[in-house]
Amino acid sequence: MSEAATTTTMPGPGADAAAPARTAPPAERRGASARNIASYLQAAPLALILFVFLLIPIATIVVVSFWDYDFARIIPDFVLTNYKEALGSSVTWRTYLNTLRYAAIVWALTAVIGFMTAYFLAFYVRSATMQMVLFLVCTVPFLTSNIIRMISWIPFLGRNGLLNSALIHIGIVDEPLEFLLFSDFAVVLAMVHLYTLFMVAPVFNTLMRIDRSVVEAARDAGASGWQTLTNVIIPLAKPGIAIGSIFVVTLVMGDFITVRFMSGGQSASVGLMMANQISLLQYPAAAANAVILLITVLIIVAAIIRLVDIRKEL
């Protein structure tokens, strides 16, 4: 029962999709065609929505990325200029590098923080209700509009902000710390703030599924707490970490609003570059960038899946 309760807030991946046969009892094979129809009917809404709002839009973007444009219109055509301009420019490469750098740093931080948080919740909090309460407590700040939260970083981290005032008051620093705001530090901080929860959730989910007797056995065999953690728990939690990583990397790669606000417009990211092009009505250029971004993200995700078999989790 506690299982069901804890999953309420967990975007835990799982179930029998990849290997549906595994769990299908023999009884279900009877009347297979009728059940098949039921399955199709049940899956139809999902398929339809994803078709209309995911597949068609992506197809549109791919098509438009080959179109031409002038300063006011997009012109149906088949040209490669958008790709040539995007890939031929050193700005694009630098922007991608910068975005990947953000992704790497944010990923590392969220992985550590996320794992520790999830580990605490999964192994040290006793009741399922308490776990849920603590998890919900973590989600509350996200119900306040992100734009408002972004604005509030200025009075928090700014030159005369809360944090600097506090630091000066305590006497840790004499001068306000300038790097706290409008810097790479600020961007990473805000991203960690926004995205750690996406790591906590799947890791927590895997940790909850670890058979406690395995941990018990390790301990009985004389493993220290640290050895149990590194040799038993972390390897078993890998799929969850991988899924969390996919979330975090994807979110960072596509982010534009955090980078713009927190760097004070001084840093670039792929998302921001696209947003700029879109705002200047250069849709085909933005579309070409979008296709490149999508391919990049897919490669990263494929690499993660290669490293860790997340299907164990499914």
Partner 1 sequence: MTNGKKKGLSRRAMLKGTAAAAGLAAGSGAITGFPTIWAQSNITLRQFGTGVSNLNAIAERCKQDLGITLEMTALDSDATAQRTVTQPDSYDIADIEYWICKKVFPAGVLQPMDTNKIKYFDKIVPLFITGKLTPDSVIAQGTAPHTVGFVEGMDSTTFAKEPTQWMTLIPTIYNADTLGIRPDLVGREIKNWKDILDPAFKGKTSILNIPSIGIMDAAMICESAGIITYGDKGNMTKEEIDTTIDFLIKTKKDGQFRAFWKTFDESVNLMASGEVVIQSMWSPAVAAVRSKGVPCVYQPLEEGYRSWGGGLGIAKHLSGAQLDAAYEYINWYLSGWVGAYLNRQGYYSAVLETAKENMTPNEWGFWMEGKPAEEDILSPEGKVMEKTGAVRDGGSFYDRMGHVACWNAVMDEDRYMVSKWNEFIAS
Partner 2 sequence: MRRDGRRGPAFWLLGGFFVLFVLFLYGPLSTIVLLSFQGPDGGLTFPMNGVSLNWFRNLFEKQAVGDFGGSFLRSLILGVMVMATTVAVSLLAGLAFRRRFRGATFLFYLAVASLIVPSILVSLGVGLGFQIAGVPPAWYSSAFGAQLTWTLPFGLLIMFAVFNRFNRSYEEAARDLGASSWQTFSNVVLPIILPSLIGVGLFGFTLSYDEFARTLMTAGTFNTLPLEIYGMTTNVTTPVLYALGTLTTLFSFLIILGVLATILVLRARRARRTAG
- Applying CB under 8 A, the residues found at the interface with partner 1 are 71-73, 85, 89, 91, 94-95, 98, 151, 154-155, 158-161, 178, 181-182, 260, 263-268, 272-273, 275-276, 278-282
Nearest Cα residue to 183 out of 240, 124, 126, 105: 105
133 counts as binding partner 2 under rule CB under 8 A: yes
98 counts as binding partner 2 under rule CB under 8 A: no
Q: Say if CB 125 and CB 2 are below 8 A apart.
A: no
Nearer to partner 1, 159 or 209 (CB): 159
Alpha helices in 51-89 (DSSP H): 56-64, 81-88
Nearer to partner 2, 21 or 72 (CB): 21
5 binds, among partner 2, partner 1, none (CB under 5 to 8 A by kind): partner 2
38 counts as binding partner 2 under rule CB under 8 A: yes
**Amino acid (one-letter) located at 154:** I
Q: Of the ranges 84-92, 100-108, 234-242, 267-275, which one interacts with partner 2 (CB under 8 A)?
A: 267-275
By rule CB under 8 A, what string of x and - marks binding of each residue 166-195 to partner 2? ---------------------------x--
Nearer to partner 2, 5 or 91 (CB): 5
Residues 6+ apart with CB under 8 A from 8: 132
Distance CA 179, CA 275 (A): 26
280 binds, among partner 1, partner 2, none (CB under 5 to 8 A by kind): partner 1
Q: Radius of gyration of the chain from Cα atoms?
A: 24
Least separation, in Å, of the C-beta of 261 and partner 1?
9
β-partners of residue 68 are 75
Alpha helices in the chain (DSSP H): 2-6, 20-23, 32-50, 56-64, 81-88, 90-124, 128-139, 146-157, 162-170, 184-209, 212-220, 225-228, 234-254, 257-262, 270-279, 283-307
Residues 205-234 that bind partner 2 (CB under 8 A): 205, 212, 216, 225
Residues 269-288 that bind partner 2 (CB under 8 A): 271, 274-275, 278, 283, 286-287
